[in-house]
Structure 1
Amino acid sequence: MADTKWPAMSIADANRLLTAPGMPFEMETVTIRGIPTRVYKNAPPHLRAIFELGKGWGKRDFIVYEGERLDFDSHYRAVCALARVYADRFGIRKGDRVAIAMRNFPEWSIAFWAAAAIGAITVPINAWGSGAELEYCITDSGSKVVVVDGERLDRLRPHMSDLKVAGIIAARASREPLGDALALEDLIGKPEDYAKLSDAALPDPGLEPDDDATIFYTSGTTGKPKGALGTHRNMMTNLMSAAYAPARACLRRGETPPAPDPDAPQRSMLLSVPLFHATGCHSILVPMYAGGGKLVFMHKWNPERALELIEQEHIQSFGGVPAMVWQVLESPNFALHDTSSVEAIGYGGAPSAPDLVTRIKQQFPKVQPGNGYGLTETSSITTQNSAEDYENRPESAGPAVPVCDLKVVDEKGNEVPAGQVGELWIKGPNIVKGYWNKPEATATAITDGWLHSGDLVRMDEEGFVFILDRAKDMLIRGGENIYCVEVEGALYAHPAVMDAAVVAIPHKVLGEEVGAVVQIAPGKEVSEEELKAHVRRLLAAFKVPVKIELRHEPLPRNANGKILKTELREDMKKYATN
C-alpha cells in the first residue's frame, strides 16, 4: 500500500536503501585510471556478456522495421556470422575499430553487436554527415572496416582513395555499382535466411570492464568533431542507471520496487532517435536487447507515422527530444489512434517546457513522464527525473544516479553553495576515458576524473539539477547574464508555442540583445507583440526578446535533435543594431 504522504522517503535515503549490501544496485569502490570510483557491484562486466543473453530470447521479435521482423534468435545468428567475417576475412581483433555509417536499419544493430562480441571498438558515425565528414571520422578513428548503407556509400565514393580500410561492407545498397564495397547479404545471407546460420559460440576475446568499447564523435559547432572513447564499464553503468529511476520512484511513493518477472509481457519501444547517438545506442538499444524487448524502428521521424506504429505495435514507451513529444501531442490525428498501450514517455537532449508534463498527463493519463540529463562524454544518463518528482519539479533534470558525483563550480573551479549558478562537473564510472588521440582536449575537459560539462546549472539542497544554459550560449546584455533556457521556458508556457529557441542579436552598445525564433503550434495563432507581453508578465523587462521571429515550419535541428542555434544566430543577425 502506497504511503499517502509523498514523498515517503528522501532522495538520499532512497539511494542508501537501493545501493545497500545485497541490493541490486549495491555499490563498491574500484580504482579506474588511478581514481577511486563508486561502481555498481552487480553490473554486467561487458557488452559480450549482454550479447550472449540474446540467445535466450529465442523467437521473440527484437526489431520491427517497415513491415520487416527480426527475432532474437535470427539476430544472434546474423551477429555471429558477421563477427566471423570481421575476424576471419578482415583480421579484426580486440581493440581494432569498426565504423558504422548508416541510418536506423536492423543491420546497424547487427554490425554493432558483431564488433562488440569480438572485442572490437565500434565507431558509430553521424549518418547525416557529408562524405568528407564521414571520411574524417573513419580515418581519424583508424577504423579497419566500415559498414554502410547505400546512401552513405554514395557519399563516400569521392573519398575512397583516402580511406585506409581493409574492407567496406554495404547493407541495402544497389548492386551496381558496389565498387570496392562488399554486399552484406553476400557475406552472411539474406534476412530470411538468418535462422539457418550457425549459432556456435564465438571465440572469447578476454574482455575486461575498462577495455575500450566505443568511439562516439561529438557534434561540435566549430572545428572537427572529437571522438569520445568509451569503455564497457561506461555502457554497463548506463544499463544499470537506466533501471534505477523507476525503483527510486517506488520508494519515494512508499512502495516496494517489484521483483523482476521473467514471465512479464514483452516490453516494446518506438526508436525515434539515431543509434549513432549515445541515447539511441546506450540507453535504448543495449537495455532493450538485454531485457528481451521489442524495438520498432522508424525510417524517418514523423509524428503521424509514430501514432500509427504506437497503435499497430502496441508501443509501451516512446520519446526522443521534447519537440518530438510535442509533435505527437499536437497532431491533428491524435484522437484517431489508440494510444492506450503507452506507459512511459521519456525525453532529454534539449530543454523541455514545464507545461509538457501537464500536457502528457492530459493526453496519456496513465503515463509517468520522465526526463534526464547526460552527454556523449557521460555515456548518456547522469541525472533522472521521473514520476512524482518530475511532476513536482518539471523544470529540473532531476538528481544524479547514485554512482555519479556532481558539483557546481565557478570560473576558477571552486565549488559554489547550493542554489548558486555555476558550471556542472561530473564524476563517476560513466565518464569516458577521454578524446581519441587528443590528449590536450582530454586534459582540458577532465580534471582528476571530473568532467567539465560546459553547462551552467544550479543545484538545490536535495541535489536536483536545473539546467540554465550552455556556458557558451549564455547572453550578456549590458553586463547582465541572461539564460536562454529561462526565456525559452517563458515562451513555452504560451499555448500557441510549440518550439522555441533564444539566441543573441548583436547590439552596438549593449553587446547582445535577446532574440527568439518560435514555431507556432498547428491550428494556433499568436502575434509577436502578444508573445512579448506574455514573456514580460513572467520575466524581468531586460529578458524580454526585442525580436521574436514566428515560423510555422520546424526549427532546424541536428541528427541528435538539438536545435542548430549557430544557424539561427546567423539568421537573426539581420536584426542587429549597428
Structure 2
Amino acid sequence: METTTSGGWPQMSLDEVRARLCGPGATFETETADIRGIPTRVWKNGPKTLPDLLRHAAGHGEATFLVLDGERVSFAAFAAASAHLAEALAGRGIGRGDRVALAMRNLPEFPVAFFAIVSLGAIVVPLNAWWTRGELLFGLKDSGAKLLLCDAERWDVLERGAGVDTLVCRAGGTVPEGSALEALIGPPSSWAALPPKPLPDVAIEPDDHATIFYTSGTTGKPKGALGTHRSSVTNVMSSAYAAAAKHMRRGEEPPEPTPKSTLLTIPLFHVTACNARMMISLYAGYKIVLTRKWDPTEAFRLIERERITHAGGVPAIAWSLIEHPERKNHDLSSLEAIAYGGAPAAPELVRKIKEMTGCEPGSGWGMTETSGTVTIHGAEDYLHRPESCGPPVPVAELRIMSLDGEREMPVGEDGELWVKGPMVVEGYWNDADATAETFKEGWLKTGDVARLDEEGFCTIVDRAKDVIIRGGENIYSIEVENCLYEHPGVVEACVVPLPHRTLGEEPAAAVFLAEGQHTTEAELRAWTAERLAAFKVPVAIRTRKAPLPRNANGKVLKPVVRAELAQELGRGEGAG
C-alpha cells in the first residue's frame, strides 16, 4: 500500500482524493448513466455536448483563444465564425448524421470548422494531413463524406479534386468559384467583425454521433473510431480533476483557476490535441498558440513572446525543450509544465524535466478509441512512478484480463488492458466485425499488455497489437508490409520497430525477393513513400538472401528479425 514519504508526500491517498473531489455536491461529482444499454460512471457536471462547450467558450469573450503567427482570434470571434459557418453549411445541405471531412494542418479554421459541423448534428471526420492522396481518398470514401473542408496544401495533394463538394481555405484565387471558405466567413482577421449569431436549433443528445477519427487498422486499412458528443467532452472534467487532485495529494487545497497558455505542437487531427487540449482550452479559457511544424528555436521564441505555461506533445518534443542548445538564449520562465504521451518515454526524461527546467512533468495514456484521456500522470506521482502512465480518471474503469479474455488477472500481474468509461467510442465505422472483436459489453480491449498496482497505477508493459509508435504516430506493421508486398520483386516482408531515443520507435523492414529479382533499398523506400504517409516509411529496408525465419506454424519470428536488424544497423535499446 501507498505510504507517506519522509518529505510528507503524499498527504492523501488516491481514494481519499476521489472521495473529497467526487462526492455529492462536489465539482467533480459522478453519477451513473445508461450508455448503449450499459450502466457507466460519468461526470455529473460540465458540458454534455459539443455545442454546450461552444456556448460556454463564447463566454470568455475577448480573451485570446488562438494565435498563429500574426493572427489572433478571440473566443467571441471564434464562436461567431463557428455559428456563421454552421449556417452556411446547413445551406449547402449538411444536416444530422452527414459526414463532413476536415483535412488541414493546425489553423484557426480547424476548430471553427469542427464546431460548425458538430453543431448541425453532423459527424466531423478529421483526416490525417500527412496522408498521401490515396490515403485521403480512402478516408473520404470510407466515411461517405458529403463535404470536405481542407487547406490549400491538402487541395494540392488531392490534385484539386476530391470527388465530393469541397471548401478550401488559404488558397487565394486558385479554387473554383464558390469553393473558397473565406467567401462564407472571411479570413480569421475579419471574424471579430462578424455579428453574434446563435447556433442552429438542433436537438443534440450526449450519445449522438459526433466524430470519426481514423486509426491504422490491423488488417492494413485504417479504421474509423466513431465517437460521440459525450466521449469528446469527457476530457474536460477529467483534466480539471487531475489538476485539482495533484494539489490534494500534497495536502493543499486546489487553487482558483488562473489563465494558462498552451503551445500546441501536435496535430488537431489527433484526439490528444483535439479532444483533450482544444476542449480543455475552450472550457477553461486558455490560449492556444498554434505552430506549423515542430521547430525548437521557433518554439522557444513563442514561449518567450506568448508567456507559454504548458508545452510538450510527444517525448521527442519534450527532449528538445530540455536539451536544445538554443534554450539558454530565451526566457522560458513562464513554463509550468511539460507533458507528453503517444509514444514510449524513458523514465530519465521525467527526472530531467524537473531537474533542468523546474517544470512539472506530465504524461498519461489513451488511444483513438478512448477519445483521448484515460489515465493522467503528473507532478510528484510521475516522479515517484516514472514507468507508470498513471491512475485512471474517476470515470474510467480498468481491468487486466488474461490474453484469451477469459479471466481477470490479480494485482501486479500482466495481461491485456481493458477500459470502460464515457470516453470510449461506440465502435468502428462500417466495420461490424472489428467492433464485435474489440468492444465487449461496454469494455474496450485495448491490445496493450499492462499491469495495475495496489493503488491502481497502470504500467504499460508491451503491445499485443502489432503497432509501432513513431513520435506519437501509430504505424501498423501489416499496412507497411502489405505495401511492400505490392512491389513485384518482394516475396516476403517483415516490418519491426527499432528503438529511437527521442521518437521512441522507428519502423525498419526485412524483405526476401523473388528469384531473379533485383531491387535496391532506395527503390523500396521510394515505393513505400509514394503510397504511404512519410512517417510510415521504414528508415531501413534490408534484403535477405534467405526466406524470413518462421516457427513451426509458419509465423514469421519478428523478434529474430528485429534483433538481426538492430545488430546490423547498430540500433540497440536507447539508440537513434
TM-score (norm 1): 0.81
The alpha-carbon deviation at position 237 of structure 1 amounts to 1.3
| Residue of structure 1 aligned with 2:28, choices 19, 25, 28 | 25
- Would you say 1:10 and 2:9 are equivalent positions? no
User: Structure 2 CA distance, aligned partners of 1:520 and 1:50?
Assistant: 35
The size of the alignment, in residue pairs, is 496
- Would you say 1:306 and 2:299 are equivalent positions? yes
- Equivalences for residues 466-477 of structure 1 within 5 A: 466-473=459-466
Cα shift readout 1:205-232 (whole Å, capped 9, x = no counterpart): 1111111111101133651111100011
| Residue of structure 1 aligned with 2:120, choices 104, 118, 121 | 118
Structure 2: 5+ residue runs without aligned partners?
478-493, 504-527, 543-560, 569-576
Distance 1:33 1:574, change over 3 A: closer
Partner of 2:380: 388
SS at match of 2:59: helix
Kept after mapping to 2: 8 A contact 1:168/1:181: no
- Equivalences for residues 205-220 of structure 1 within 5 A: 205-220=202-217
Partner of 1:127: 129
- Equivalences for residues 284-363 of structure 1 within 5 A: 284-363=277-356
User: Structure 1 CA distance, aligned partners of 2:462 and 2:270?
Assistant: 21
The alpha-carbon deviation at position 113 of structure 1 amounts to 1.4
Kept after mapping to 1: 8 A contact 2:215/2:368: yes
Percent of pairs with identical residues: 47
TM-score (norm 2): 0.81
Partner of 2:140: 138
Partner of 2:368: 376
SS at match of 1:567: coil
- Would you say 1:200 and 2:193 are equivalent positions? no
The alpha-carbon deviation at position 562 of structure 1 amounts to 12
Distance 1:23 1:310, change over 3 A: same
- Equivalences for residues 61-72 of structure 1 within 5 A: 61-72=64-75
Distance 1:112 1:3, change over 3 A: farther
- Would you say 1:403 and 2:383 are equivalent positions? no
User: Structure 1 CA distance, aligned partners of 2:438 and 2:66?
Assistant: 37
Partner of 2:487: none
Moved over 6 A (4+): none
The alpha-carbon deviation at position 158 of structure 1 amounts to 6.7
Partner of 1:532: none
Partner of 2:173: 175
- Equivalences for residues 441-520 of structure 1 within 5 A: 441-473=434-466, 516-518=498-500
- Would you say 1:81 and 2:78 are equivalent positions? no
Distance 1:433 1:102, change over 3 A: same
Kept after mapping to 2: 8 A contact 1:86/1:92: yes
The alpha-carbon deviation at position 388 of structure 1 amounts to 0.9
Distance 1:225 1:334, change over 3 A: same
Partner of 2:149: 147
User: Structure 1 CA distance, aligned partners of 2:251 and 2:235?
Assistant: 26
Distance 1:454 1:102, change over 3 A: same
Cα shift readout 1:459-508 (whole Å, capped 9, x = no counterpart): 1111111111111459xxxxxxxxx99xx9xxxxxxxxxxxx9x9xxxxx
| Residue of structure 2 aligned with 1:186, choices 179, 183, 187 | 183
User: Structure 2 CA distance, aligned partners of 1:464 and 1:569?
Assistant: 37
Kept after mapping to 1: 8 A contact 2:155/2:161: no
User: Structure 1 CA distance, aligned partners of 2:43 and 2:340?
Assistant: 24
Kept after mapping to 2: 8 A contact 1:131/1:159: no
Code of the residue aligned with 1:449 in structure 2: it is: G
User: Structure 2 CA distance, aligned partners of 1:440 and 1:471?
Assistant: 19
Kept after mapping to 1: 8 A contact 2:86/2:200: no
Kept after mapping to 1: 8 A contact 2:213/2:225: yes
User: Structure 2 CA distance, aligned partners of 1:42 and 1:516?
Assistant: 44
